[in-house]
Structure 1
Amino acid sequence: MFLKNAWYVACKPEEIEGKPLGRKVCNEAIVFYRQADGSPAAVEDFCPHRGAPLSLGYVSDGKLVCGYHGLEMGCDGKAIAMPGQRVRGFPCIKSYAADERHGFIWVWPGDKEQADPALIPDLHWANNPEWAYGGGYYHVRCDYRLMVDNLMDLTHETYVHSGSIGQKEIDETPCVTKVDGDHVTVSRFMNDLPEAPPFWKMALRGHGLPDDQRVDRWQVCHFTPPTHVMIEVGVALAGQGGKDAPADRKVYAVVVDFITPETETSHHYFWGMARHFRPQDPALTRAIREGQSKVFGEDLQMLERQQLNISQWPDRKLLMLNIDAGGMQSRKVIERLLTAERSAAADRLSAASTAEMAQ
């Protein structure tokens, strides 16, 4: 169901400042905290003494301390000390690879030995002063793949987001879906529209551009494993080159979507927008974040009710239309990589069994 040998966003850095954070990722109960040197650590959220959640404890001098009986745990999952007790024989708990990069704490819920920090996505906008970023977090009670479907098929904007980013031209303009290895792209270019929708009118005004003129609009959705979706979006004054228009004639941004599975029917959704205009304007950042929060909030009820229906009628077959191609191709990538991951795990298990028998 989940790709485990991959990097996922686990939390924002401020969530582990001075305290541990318990969060389930891919059905793995994990506690995140900072070590003495400030680097993030992640171990199983399970005290080997009595099974208490370590996330209910605290951090002391970079060590995770169980809040039940004071057992100190190391970042390698080994017990360090406990008042009045010897801990050398205590069983280890699982530890996970964790890293801090691009303003997020990342975790590798699978085989720690395979975790390569170089595989964390390169977010070109994250440390670039020409870009500004604002975002947030939602806990969503639905299968993470439903969110991928939602983001790779933006025709729903006409209906779900009619008061913010939706407009009928989205429905009327065909999209193009392409697959390049593990990368799925869905593109839609809408030219010479009578006007921009409300959210984009606000963005145009924020960039000092008129909001009552004809515009060109674009949406280019990028899916990459395990569950990341980046969407190039924007509007330009009509006839100026659309997506390739000069910077002073357009508002251009990347909608950032990190979808981290929690269970089979829930996920963590880290959303935001990186914009390439007026980066030094904090008021504009706040306005865009508030507008985006409203947009994503509109998706929540639809997705969670969709999950309830699917869970209630699991045998009902869903239709697949042309507009669903991006989500379907993304699911195919996930399934192919899942099959490869399971096969590799089976091969390692078989090799270990053979080696054990040979001894």
Structure 2
Amino acid sequence: MKTWVENAWYVAGWDAEIDATPMARTICGVPMMFYRKLDRTVVAMRDACPHRMLPLSMGIKEGDSIRCKYHGLKLGPDGVAQEMPLKSDKVNTRVCAETFVVYERHRFIWVWIGEKAKADPTLIPDLWPCSEVSWTFDGGYYHVECDYRLMIDNLMDLTHETYVHSGSIGQPELMEAPLECEVEGDTVRLWRWMPGIDAPPFWRSALKKDGPVDRWQVCQFLLPSSVMIDVGVAPVDAGATLEDHDQGVRGMVIDCMTPEDEHNHHYFWGMARNFDIDDPGFTARFKTQQGGVFAEDKVILEAQQQAIAANPGLKLNAYSIDQGGVRARQIINRKMTAQGGNPE
């Protein structure tokens, strides 16, 4: 049973991941192959030769075309046959591989899942900090062996930081500050304001000074499966508020979860920030630290997925801290129902 919304854009890869060499990746249950043409635009094609179904990602690139490594069928970037296995045979242009609409934006390659005619680039989630010139952005990728919705639950409930990330960004005040949540259309927004507290190690290092700070977390779910989290700290005398908090160090955690299938997903994570943007060394160290934090989430969520499979008679329970994830799932379910799906 599908667990994702169709007629939507999903991240297929980072801009740096996809190059001239074909890359295989299964997206929403569909094995796909991606590569860049000579003009650097991206091709997305079903990763199965229409002849004997060998993965085309194993094939041989010839200019902008791909030749199957089994019998040599050559396909153009539009998926249409250009040469038959026997070169003396007339080319049958009805032989073709399925292709998919792709778009490059916000450092990501997006692929459209659903009806091609409905592929509208304006529907790509607005991850504005990734493209804002006064910010810098980088991140990484994990393959996570769990339902992508468990990661959304995790990101929309940051109280877990107190325990899962106690050595970096977690602190007891996360359990004490009240949460507020609102839904507007297909967007869920959850926020927490923590005034006059000690900064955790990660943020104290970013601020480059000691002393009490005001800390904030504003989580935003965007269809079909992205979460942006506005985070940071500012000295208490800087005058930061929930509505205006550029006075200290501010980052935007960028999370895009692309289903591989019902029990696995591709997790594209990163951090956009508006401080020390001209320090590439700090960007690299920052990325390494963030990767360590998200690796801790990966361990937890994969264990959770295993426990769900081992306890088929039990269901997940939701408490007040889960309201962000619950609202996000409600939106996903509503969209799936509207498209004729059967949400769990």
Secondary structure of 1:298's counterpart equals helix
Q: What is the match of residue 135 of structure 2? A: 131
Q: What is the match of residue 338 of structure 1? A: 336
> In the TM superposition, what is the alpha-carbon distance from 1:125 to its structure 2 partner?
2.4
Secondary structure of 1:338's counterpart equals helix
* Structure 1 position 31 matched with structure 2 position 36: no
> In the TM superposition, what is the alpha-carbon distance from 1:337 to its structure 2 partner?
0.4
> Does structure 1 retain, via aligned residues, the 8 Å contact 2:38–2:64?
yes
Q: What is the match of residue 291 of structure 1? A: 289
Q: What is the match of residue 200 of structure 1? A: 203
Superposition TM-score, scaled by structure 1 size: 0.90
CA distance in 2, matches of 1:72, 1:16: 21
> Does structure 2 retain, via aligned residues, the 8 Å contact 1:48–1:90?
no
- Where do 1:227-246 residues align within 5 Å? 227-243=225-241
> Does structure 2 retain, via aligned residues, the 8 Å contact 1:33–1:64?
no
2:70 is matched with which residue: 48, 68, 71? 68
RMSD of aligned residue pairs (Cα, Å) = 1.6
CA distance in 1, matches of 2:172, 2:340: 43
> In the TM superposition, what is the alpha-carbon distance from 1:118 to its structure 2 partner?
2.0
- Where do 1:49-60 residues align within 5 Å? 49-60=51-62
Q: What is the match of residue 249 of structure 2? A: 251
CA distance in 1, matches of 2:245, 2:110: 35
- Where do 1:131-150 residues align within 5 Å? 131-150=135-154
Q: What is the match of residue 346 of structure 1? A: none
Secondary structure of 1:337's counterpart equals helix
1:42 is matched with which residue: 44, 51, 65? 44
CA distance in 2, matches of 1:132, 1:299: 24
Which 4+ runs in 1 deviate beyond 6 A?
Answer: none
Q: What is the match of residue 195 of structure 2? A: 191
> In the TM superposition, what is the alpha-carbon distance from 1:83 to its structure 2 partner?
4.6
Q: What is the match of residue 20 of structure 2? A: 18
> In the TM superposition, what is the alpha-carbon distance from 1:57 to its structure 2 partner?
1.2
1:246-279 alpha-carbon deviations (Å, 9 max, x no partner): 74x4000100001101011100000000001121
1:162 is matched with which residue: 161, 166, 169? 166
Unaligned runs of 5+ in 2: none
Q: What is the match of residue 357 of structure 1? A: none
Q: What is the match of residue 275 of structure 2? A: 277
CA distance in 1, matches of 2:287, 2:57: 30
CA distance in 1, matches of 2:141, 2:233: 26
> Does structure 2 retain, via aligned residues, the 8 Å contact 1:203–1:288?
no
Secondary structure of 1:162's counterpart equals coil
* Structure 1 position 111 matched with structure 2 position 131: no
CA distance in 2, matches of 1:65, 1:200: 51
Q: How many pairs are equivalent? A: 336
User: Against the structure 1 CA distance between its residues 246 and 267, is the aligned structure 2 distance closer, same or farther, given a 3 Å change threshold?
Assistant: closer
Superposition TM-score, scaled by structure 2 size: 0.94
* Structure 1 position 179 matched with structure 2 position 183: yes
Unaligned runs of 5+ in 1: 344-359
Q: What is the match of residue 353 of structure 1? A: none
